[in-house]
Amino acid sequence: MRIMLKLVIDCDADAAWRALHSPRAVAELYGPLLRLEPLAPLPTSWSAGEDAAVALSLGGVVPLGSQLIDVSDFERVVGGQRVRILRDSGIPLSGPLAALDVWDHQMAVSPAPGRPGRTLWRDRLVIGGAAAPLLWPVLWATWQWRAARIRALAPSWAHDPEPAHA
């Protein structure tokens, strides 16, 4: 079963790509509805091949289990546009989502065609297993929340990184 988002956000593709690699920015996508707490220290920025476990809770109060986040990156060229894709191939470790057999989350960013300084954000979650039909409506609603949060937070991602000092 799939859940997909496709939206144009108010920041450039480089800023969106940096945000996708920021554990803090990713956690903000779910707040304040869901809270992600690291089970071990997280890097400032995820690199391909890194993984981390986080605890999930509803509003920081009701425990929902834990999730392994396992990051990989790849690129494609589609219609002459560079598309950068972050794939989280981790899996729910405990809680209701652990009843899923498949968890494949991919987020793609590219410059929005005809919209300078904006990003086309595509988000796809594939879930599977006997519990998928029961969990799909909850995850679909969560992804709608994510879309609203992505739109709201994207302008705050647009900044020029500080120059490296020699």
What digits encode the pLDDT tens for the residues 28-48? 988 888 899 999 998 889 888
Count of alpha carbons within 13 Å of 21, Cβ hemisphere only? 19
Residue 35, strand partner residues: 57
Q: For tokens 């981390």, what's the residue? A: 52
Question: In this structure, what are the phi and psi dihedrals at residue 25, rounded to the nearest 5 degrees?
Answer: -65, -40
- Using CA atoms, how far apart are residues 118 and 49, in angstroms rounded to an integer? 28
Q: For tokens 């405990």, what's the residue? A: 94
For the whole prediction, is pTM greater than 0.85?
Answer: yes
Determine the 3-state secondary structure of 148 from DSSP.
Answer: helix
Question: In this structure, what are the phi and psi dihedrals at residue 59, rounded to the nearest 5 degrees?
Answer: 60, 20
> Cα separations (Å) of 120 from 28, 46, 105, 146, 158?
19, 21, 17, 15, 14
Supply the pLDDT for residue 163: 55
- Nearest CA-CA partner of 9 in 24, 29, 32, 23: 29
- Using CA atoms, how far apart are residues 86 and 25, in angstroms rounded to an integer? 14
Q: Which residues of the chain have pLDDT under 50?
A: 166
